[in-house]
A and B are shown apart, each in its own frame.
Chain A
Amino acid sequence: MVIGALLIVAIGWWLWVPLSVISARGVIDGLEEEPFYPPLDLRADALLGAARQVLDARLSDAPPPSLGTLRASWPGLADVGAGPWILSLYVPTASSYRGPHVAHVESGDVSAALNHLFDGLPAKARNSKTLAGASLKLDLVLPGRRSLPPGGGRSGSAIDPGLDGIELSDAEGAWLYLPSWSAERKIKRRLIVETAREASRKHGWSKERADAARIQAFRTRAWVEALEPGGRARPTARANVEVPVVDAAAVRESIRIGGAYLTRETSSRGKITYEFQPEHDRIGSGYNMLRHAGTAYSMFQVYRLLGNEADFDAAARAMDYFKARMKEDAAHPGEWFILDPAKKRKRAKLGGAGLGLLAWVEMEKARPGSADYEAMFGLARHILRMQNPDGSFESFYDWDGKERTTRKSIFYPGEAILGLTRLHQLTGDESWLDAAERGADYLVNKRWVALGLRIYIPPDAWLIQALEELDRVRPDERRADYAFAIAAQIARHKLMDPSKAPPDLVGGDLGGLSSLPSAANSGSFGEALSAAARLEARRRPDETRCRRWGELNLGMQLRNQFSEANSWFLANPARAHGGFRFKPNDHEIRNDYVQHNISGLFGMLQLMQPGVPDIGAVVGPAERSAALLEAMR
């Protein structure tokens, strides 16, 4: 009896949690048909255009245009009505006056609103230098409100980050926390209501009043200024704009600015900025040599595509930095590994050798004769030492007699196998391919298989690339099927239906209850899905499933790369330009996020445009440099 009661309670709790989350959500009455991105609007064009005219006048010390002059220049001002319209000014600075500064546009008097914003800035900020990159945004507050449970519901799940604004109201009035604010800075979903309350206190609300206020969700239509003078105001949602077209030209441009970001962020001694937080104009303190090597690898890919010498030089400096941290195995001369800095001690990870090998091979493919062959072959020989007789790999090398971990990385073996496969493409030496094949066969046929069960198929984005390129030289049905299974496993946990997912999340993966999809994962999964699409084009030419997945993933990638179009709210948009962020509401750029995205885009571009360099290009005997041939002897 007791057990039965406990069982019923447990099932009830299990059902109640999701039901309580879902029931707390809902659409605001009257906004059921509201589009995700607002339509182009002449009133928004007029208000933002006029506001920019006033701002320019204030910066040039010219007399501000009268409302009559503005109405003559912007006929749309006559139609703006009561709104309510809210004008925001963003100043690209990490200083306290960054904003956004907001002002209500009363009766279409945009001049008064802009003057209010301008005069609210400290005197030192009221100059054309500081405000050169300033941006204006306009919100039209829509009618209708939706009550929120305390705190915004379980984990804040009643609130859509970046889409729902928070209204605090009482008998004396209301204060609005605009929708985009919870996406412009990293704010946990469960803390949005509390953040709104705190923000209200900076605008004259007491703590008691904010705590006692009625909390409701509201929505706006929002636009940011046109990028070109005289252009139309650009619709925005969740602090982002839609990427208009995802075609080969857009992908190529994305790779170009991504490469330019990495080149800018590579120091004179070859260290690549690891983490950059553009919303604060701050860099992180950590470092990771695996990701360093992977990033250099993608920089050579950019060079292979675009031929920009600055990209190659920066990547070459990065490889010098890498080589300086490599170590020759004292017990096995001629074998080299890379030491990854860690808080406690330096560790020799298989992934570091795999990605280092990839980078050296890519360097040699990019410019024959440029690689360090001692390092390249030394890493490859070390990888062979890490391989067990059954084809599996050890993930950590006990180089100093202190390695105790039994950890088995999911991704290191795939990185090593891809490195060996690429070395075969460069040298034609079958022994590297033999080792790669043994490793791949272990992962496909034995890893996660035991006692008659296949436990699961991990979303191994490195292995699938190796399988695609192995298949070109040693085709095998089981390996090909496994590659397609990895792609299906990845796609299964992504939002691949544009008719159901919010437009800005299409192609994104499933985060947790409190998390928007990871754009960083779209980078690594982009590498995986593009490999699957290439395999599909060769093995299943009548199918387009993997290619479709790759294309949907592309949209998520491009939407989360910073460009002039979507960085108006950052403290340092110029530095962030070209970088790929972590999530739609977490703007940290890490070097490997950029690498994964560039490599995935490179792989997709090959399918979209003839003549693009092959990601797995084979170097023929006649193309090998004399230095490489000498090293191969």
Chain B
Amino acid sequence: MKRWLPIGLGVIGLLLAGYILFGMLTGPKQVAPGQVLWMPWLAVGLTAAAIASCWSTVGARLGSFLGLALGAQSGSALACISLAVAAGRQNYWDAVHFASLYWVAVVGSLGALVLLVRVARGGSELARFLAVLSGLLLGACVVLWAWMTLGPVQELQGWIARTLYLLTHG
């Protein structure tokens, strides 16, 4: 029971995150803005509960699975942001929908990183690899935050866009 509860919660969290991502991939216009507010948080919350339920006894395999689940939810949230922009959802969503997904990505990647580093200290190679991926996701979140917040980063992005354009139209 102690083992199956966190696995079950982790699987449900993964399924919820996958459900939203699948919806955004196949029909972004059909995904209600309200869904992206609560479903990713529910997924992260369930996985966090799973981790909390076995934190003191978590082993390499279960820890890697839960870290993977949390990291996948973070990646799913970032992907949903990209898909929403590509599909022009900014005409239907509010700032809170994008911000909510962003913070899910931050919490998911940070939580996964903490868990996976702990598990990796026990010698798990898989956990170490997944920790690197979580770190990359967290790095992507930091870059996104910097782009939203810092003028010089926006200037850099503009410079890259102009340079690439001139390289293909100069």
A interface with B by C-beta (< 8 Å): 3-4, 7, 18, 21-22, 25, 157, 160, 406-410, 447-456, 488-489, 492-493, 495, 497, 500-502, 505, 510-511, 513, 516
Contact = CB atoms under 8 A, between A and B. Distances in A.
Contact of A3 (B33, B99, B100, B129): B129
Interface stretch (B8-16, B19-27, B112-120, B158-166): B158-166
Contact of A453 (B91, B148, B168): B148
Contacts of A510: 161-162, 165
A3 B96 CA distance: 33
B96 A450 contact: yes
Given A451-B96, A455-B98, A455-B99, 20 more contacts: A3-B133, A4-B129, A18-B167, A21-B168, A22-B167, A25-B167, A157-B168, A160-B169, A410-B90, A450-B99, A453-B145, A454-B95, A454-B148, A455-B148, A456-B148, A492-B157, A493-B161, A495-B166, A510-B162, A511-B165
B102 interface: yes
Given A408-B92, A453-B95, A493 B168 contact: no
Contacts of B167: 18, 21-22, 25
B164 A18 contact: yes
A407 B91 contact: yes
B95 A450 contact: yes
Interface string B79-112: 0000000000011101110111011000000000
B149 A454 contact: yes
Interface of B: 33, 90-92, 94-96, 98-100, 102-103, 129, 133, 145, 148-149, 151, 154-155, 157-158, 161-162, 164-170
Contacts of B33: 406
> From DSSP, what is the main secondary structure of chain A's interface residues?
loop
A495 B91 contact: no
A174 B151 CA distance: 53
B92 A455 contact: no
Contact of A451 (B103, B154, B164, B165): B103
A454 B102 CA distance: 12
27 contacts: A18-B164, A22-B167, A157-B168, A160-B169, A406-B33, A407-B92, A408-B92, A408-B94, A410-B91, A447-B95, A449-B95, A450-B94, A450-B95, A450-B96, A451-B99, A451-B100, A455-B98, A455-B148, A456-B148, A488-B154, A492-B155, A492-B161, A497-B162, A500-B166, A502-B170, A505-B169, A516-B169
A388 B133 CA distance: 44
A22 B168 contact: yes
Nearest to A405: B92
Contacts of B99: 450-453, 455
The 5 closest A-B pairs by CB, nearest first: A492-B158, A450-B95, A451-B99, A450-B96, A450-B99
Contact of B168 (A409, A410, A492, A513): A513
B166 A501 contact: yes
> From DSSP, what is the main secondary structure of chain B's interface residues?
helix
Nearest to A18: B164
A408 B92 CA distance: 6
A631 to B, nearest CB: 36
A156 to B, nearest CB: 10
Contacts of B96: 450-451
B54 to A, nearest CB: 24
Interface hub of B33, B133, B154 (most chain A Cβ within 10 A): B154
Contacts of B170: 500-502
A497 B148 CA distance: 25
A585 B132 CA distance: 47
A513 B92 CA distance: 27
A493 B163 CA distance: 11
Interface hub of B91, B95, B103, B148 (most chain A Cβ within 10 A): B95
A453 B102 contact: yes
B72 to A, nearest CB: 11
Contacts of A501: 166, 170
Contacts of B90: 410
Contacts of B168: 21-22, 25, 157, 513
Nearest to A485: B151
B162 A495 contact: yes
Contacts of B92: 406-408
Nearest to B81: A455
A448 B95 contact: yes
Contacts of A21: 167-168
Contacts of B155: 492
A409 B88 CA distance: 11
A451 B98 CA distance: 10
Nearest to A501: B166
A516 to B, nearest CB: 7
A443 to B, nearest CB: 12
A349 B70 CA distance: 43
Contacts of B158: 492-493
Contacts of B148: 453-456
B44 to A, nearest CB: 15
Contacts of B129: 3-4
B102 A492 contact: no
Nearest to A496: B162
B29 to A, nearest CB: 11
Contacts of A455: 95, 98-99, 148
B164 A408 contact: no
Nearest to B157: A492
A25 B165 CA distance: 13
A285 to B, nearest CB: 25
B157 to A, nearest CB: 8
Given A407-B92, A453-B95, A502 B169 contact: yes
Nearest to A489: B154
A510 B158 CA distance: 10
B43 to A, nearest CB: 18
A409 B94 CA distance: 11
A408 B91 contact: yes
Nearest to B156: A492
A251 B87 CA distance: 38
A492 B98 contact: no
B112 to A, nearest CB: 14
A409 B91 contact: yes
A454 to B, nearest CB: 6
A160 B166 CA distance: 11
Nearest to A24: B168
Contacts of A3: 129, 133
Nearest to B170: A502
A527 to B, nearest CB: 21
A453 B104 CA distance: 13
Nearest to A492: B158
Contacts of B149: 453-454
Nearest to A410: B91
Contacts of A454: 95, 148-149
A497 B145 CA distance: 28
Contacts of A492: 154-155, 157-158, 161
Contacts of A449: 95
Interface hub of B90, B100, B168, B169 (most chain A Cβ within 10 A): B169
A7 B71 CA distance: 15
A543 to B, nearest CB: 16
Contacts of A18: 164, 167
